[in-house]
Homo-oligomer: A and B are copies of this chain.
Amino acid sequence: MDVLPVSWGPPRPERADAARNRAHLLATARQMLAESGPDQLTMDALAERSGLGKGTVFRRFGTRAGIFQALLDEIERGLQERVMSGPPPLGPGAPPVDRLVAYGRARVRLLLENTEIARFALDGRQPLPSSSRTPASQMHIRMLLRQLSLDGADLDLLAIQLTAALDGPLLLYLSADALTSAGPQIEQSLGSAWQDLIERVCRP
């Protein structure tokens, strides 16, 4: 008989039409978002506008929030690339603390530029497969923390806490109006606050 594997890596490579539709849906979603704001981006509207069925939209994203998560993933991919292969201090080559600070500042900026998407990507229940629910952000922070050899700290939990301290303020505790009113100033404040937090945590 053939092999009888217990766990496949990728179970199946995703059919060609499915990939095409996914890309088309994301493009349409981005367009609708730019034109009419997040409230008008409904599942029905996205299906109709893209010329596909409602079922397809749900199959791809699972949830309304899933659309926004996918959009945010796409946006974050650019940052990930700069982190992995860009110039220091964001990219490799700088001391870990500097990279942490740079990463936080960059992410603050990115989130402030996409507050609405990020907020709508939030959802209490997550009926998704629930696996691989470890954001890239958290893994990157964890990796840099490890290089610092902080003694007596649970790196996994510390990374989770710091990730929360980076996302939480924007998504949960800073109200929408506070963001729009203070504009670019809040970016500076949040960036400095992040730097201060990192330097305190990483002090010897």
**Contact between B163 and A173 (Cβ–Cβ < 8 Å)?**
yes
Nearest B residue to A68, CB-CB? B124
**Residue-wise interface mask of A (105-148) relative to B, using a CB-CB cutoff of 8 A (1 in contact, 0 not):** 00000000000000111111110001001110010000000000
Chain A interface size, under 10 / 10 to 19 / 20 to 34 / 35 or more: 35 or more
Max chain B Cβ within 10 angstroms of own Cβ: one of A135, A167, A197, A203: A197
Q: List the one stretch of A12-20, A70-78, A86-94, A149-157 in contact with chain B.
A: A149-157
Majority SS at the chain A contact face:
helix
**Contact between A169 and B177 (Cβ–Cβ < 8 Å)?**
no
Interface residues of A (CB under 8 A from B): 65, 119-126, 130, 133-135, 138, 152-154, 157-158, 160-165, 167-169, 172-177, 189-190, 192-194, 196-197, 200-201, 203
